[in-house]
């Protein structure tokens, strides 16, 4: 089975994430896309993040009805920061028959050499760099120089329409009592409304 692994904070999940996942599913002929919320993203260690349970519930609401989309709690079920290479190693061991595709925004591609064990990541998964709109792609020469020639075989590009939404923007809109309709799935919008999440700066903070 061809499985796309899509990691993020998902605080909250929004339509940009869903379009990315769907475009990768279609263009890379994936059987499934697994949404993998991070426990403690290494680059957000000091930030306040909404509880894992709440982020998972919002993901479940967002992906309901799409049989190709799944929630994976692999990073929440282990302690410590979520390094991508550790997650891929674990999936590779547990699901040996799956072919893994790591979905990342093309803008994150330039940071790949700074991630833990980038060469091992490319051995474990094909990296799918998602180009949003017509933003320029990072220079592969540089990646090749730092990581090695495997960059050419193990990184593919997918294009998606640019959807200029971020979770930060969603939280800001909720706090400012502005509409988030159509920016997040209806179920997520209702969930946030019912629980009053993100209404104040600290409302979504982790338990
Ligand atoms: P925040 O604003 O809190 O940093 P975010 O909206 O960027 O959050 P993350 O959970 O950090 O969301 O992102 C997970 C992945 O989704 C990243 O690879 C990021 O590039 C991608 N992503 C985020 N927003 C979009 C979008 N609007 N379109 C396509 N991809 C997106």
Mean pLDDT by 10 residues, the chain (207 residues): 96 97 98 93 65 96 97 90 91 94 91 91 96 78 82 90 94 97 98 94 49
Q: Is 165 in the pocket of ligand 1 (CB under 6 A)?
A: yes
What distances in angstroms separate CA 157 from CA 131, 152, 153, 154, 191, one per listed residue? 7, 11, 11, 10, 34
CA-closest residue to ligand 1 atom 25: 16
Residue 90 is part of a domain; what is its CATH number?
3.40.50.620
Instruction: Provide DSSP, 9-41.
Output: --TT--HHHHHHHHHHHHHTT-SEEEEEE-SS-
Q: CA 90 to CA 124: how far, in whole Å?
A: 10
Is residue 205 assigned to a domain? no
Q: Does some domain include residue 64? A: yes
Tokens representing residue 1 in the block = 């089975």
Other C-beta atoms closer than 10 Å to the C-beta of 175 total 14
What is the pTM assigned to this prediction?
0.92
Residue entry with tokens 């089975």 = 1
- Regarding the beta carbon of 75 and ligand 1, being less than 6 Å apart is answered no
Could you give the number of structural domains in the chain? 1
Asked, for residue 150, whether it belongs to a domain, the answer is yes
């Amino acid at each position: 089975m061809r499985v796309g692994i899509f990691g993020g904070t998902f605080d909250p999940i929004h339509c940009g994430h869903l379009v990315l996942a769907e475009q990768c599913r279609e263009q890379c002929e994936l059987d499934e896309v697994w949404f993998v919320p991070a426990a403690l993203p290494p680059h957000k260690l000091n930030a306040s993040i909404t509880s894992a349970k709440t982020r998972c519930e919002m993901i479940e609401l967002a992906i309901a009805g799409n049989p190709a989309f799944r929630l994976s709690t692999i990073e929440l079920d282990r302690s410590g920061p979520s390094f991508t290479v550790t997650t891929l190693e674990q999936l590779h061991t547990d699901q040996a028959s799956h072919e893994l595709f790591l979905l990342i925004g093309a803008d994150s591609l330039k940071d790949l050499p700074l991630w833990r064990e980038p060469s091992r990541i490319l051995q474990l998964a094909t990296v799918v760099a998602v180009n949003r709109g017509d933003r320029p792609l990072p220079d592969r020469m540089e990646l090749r120089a730092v990581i090695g020639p495997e960059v050419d075989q193990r990184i593919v590009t997918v294009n998606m329409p640019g959807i200029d939404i971020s979770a930060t923007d969603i939280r800001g809109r909720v706090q400012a009592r502005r509409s988030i309709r159509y920016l997040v799935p209806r179920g997520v919008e209702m969930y946030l409304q019912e629980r009053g999440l993100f209404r104040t700066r600290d409302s979504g903070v982790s338990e």
